[in-house]
Amino acid sequence: MSNIESEIKIKSQAKDVLGVLDFEAVEFWVGNAYQAAYYYQHALGFTPVAWSSLKTGNRNHASYVMQQGNAKIILSSPYSGTNEMSAHTAMHGDGAKVIGLRVKDAEHAYNEAIARGATSVTTPTEIKDEFGSVRYSSIKTYGDTIHKFIERDGYDGIYMPGYHKYTAAVETPEKGVVRIDHIVGNVNWNNMDKTVKFYHEVFGFESFIEFTEDDIGTQYSALHSTVVRSANHRVKMPINEPAKALKMSQIEEYINFYHGAGVQHIALSTNDIVATVSSMRDKGVEFISVPPSYYDNLLDRVGEIKEDIDLLAQYGILVDSDKDGYLLQLFTKPQQDRPTFFFEVIERHGCQGFGKGNFQALFESIEREQAERGNL
């Protein structure tokens, strides 16, 4: 069904101009970080490890650093209705504001990015406490989203200066998430190429197309997608834009409810997707479902896999493959009332694609969800 090899058209080779090493924490600005932290802990398996709040001397906002494996998510809520954070949550609802990127040198990354045409948000800043120092800087990307460059080699404390250790009321087990695999951005009509060009020119990232005009799935899924990634492949960011199709594009639905471009989903990688998904389901996390017929002839489409098909079918886990191997994945339903941000859980066995082969199968369930929301 899928043949990523023919789809990957490398448009330019990556040059590591900013010294990007990996994803760092993604910060969400939300309406009620305290309650969101409970969901992230109990349902998704993150542990609240640090916080900044009135009790630690922060009179502007509360932030909880949630960690699982190497994946870090910060949940922040404002204390007043008149700051940037409250304006952002009023406009966008809960959403990913800051995509953190760990860099070798936050000042170099910033200076190079600005010289290459990026817009500044925060000039290079150093913060210190008794555990060492962290240097950071930030620039704008699509919509109101920003990238924060974080240099933390010189820091041994909990997260970064200004944060204190947080101890949850009860301890909970993790659910097998290892790291952030990729982060997907949705941009408005005809803005994908411009956004991809930004990552080429400012970051030196390479890009390849996963969904093209010719793909049968495109007429249904109604999106174009190009992936940008860092030279070391640790940072992978597909960029989607809406496309004209038979029905309303799911990307357009996102844009309408987020009121602009933003992060559509974060893929969390696991080494045991059945365990991760089943334990999340047990705690009430809702996933998109495909019809049972998806599993008919699955092996003909994807080739040999080591997992038991009946077990994958039981948990609704999807499979895709390319010449290098296969991947297992599943998508949650939106993680807030607005049909905007959701999570993906992914387990890779060689395959470096993003699940294009599953799009047609997913289409029907996505369309059904959109129809239930009155947005088709």
Residue with structure tokens 């301890």? 171
Q: Which of 39-47, 170-178, 262-270, 318-326 is the region at the interface with Fe ion (rule: CB under 5 A)?
A: 262-270
Nearest Cα residue to 124 out of 136, 139, 111: 136
- Which residue, 151 or 344, is less far from Fe ion as judged by CB? 344
Stretch that binds Fe ion, among 33-41, 56-64, 259-267, 320-328 (CB under 5 A): 259-267
Alpha carbon distance 183, 265 (integer Å): 6
Build a one-symbol-per-residue string for 297-336: x at contacts with Fe ion by CB under 5 A, - elsewhere.
----------------------------------------
- 132 phi/psi in degrees, rounded to 5: 125, -155
Closest to Fe ion by CB, 112 or 344: 344
Quote the least distance from Cβ 352 to Fe ion, whole Å: 12
Q: Which is nearer to Fe ion, 267 or 317 (CB)?
A: 267
Which span sits near Fe ion by CB under 5 A: 52-60, 122-130, 315-323, 342-350? 342-350
181 vs 253 by CB, closer to Fe ion: 181
Q: Say how far residue 82 (Cα) sits from the centre of its chain.
A: 28
Question: Taking CB under 5 A as the rule, does residue 267 contact Fe ion?
Answer: yes
* Phi, psi angle pair for 330, to nearest 5°: -160, 150
Residue 266's Cβ-count burial label (10 Å; 0-12, 13-18, 19+) is buried
- Which residue, 166 or 211, is less far from Fe ion as judged by CB? 211
Using rule CB under 5 A, residue 344 touches Fe ion: yes
Nearest approach, Cβ of residue 331 and Fe ion (Å): 8
Q: Give the nearest distance from C-beta 298 to Fe ion in angstroms.
A: 19
Burial of 364 (0-12, 13-18, 19+ CB in 10 A): middle
Report the half-sphere exposure of 267 (CA within 13 A, side-chain side): 23
Q: Whole-number minimum distance, CB 183 to Fe ion, in Å?
A: 9
Residue corresponding to tokens 């699509």: 142
Closer CB to Fe ion, residue 215 or residue 344? 344
For the segment 346-365, give every residue that binds Fe ion (CB under 5 A).
354
Smallest gap from residue 157 Cβ to Fe ion (A): 33
Question: Near Fe ion by CB under 5 A, which window of 8-16, 87-95, 214-222, 265-273?
Answer: 265-273
- Identify any residues that bridge with 129 across adjacent strands, giving them in sequence order: 132
Sequence-distant (6+) residues with CB within 8 A of 206 are 10, 11, 12, 13, 14, 200, 228, 229, 231
3-state secondary structure of 39: helix
| Positions in the binding site for Fe ion (CB under 5 A) | 267, 344, 354
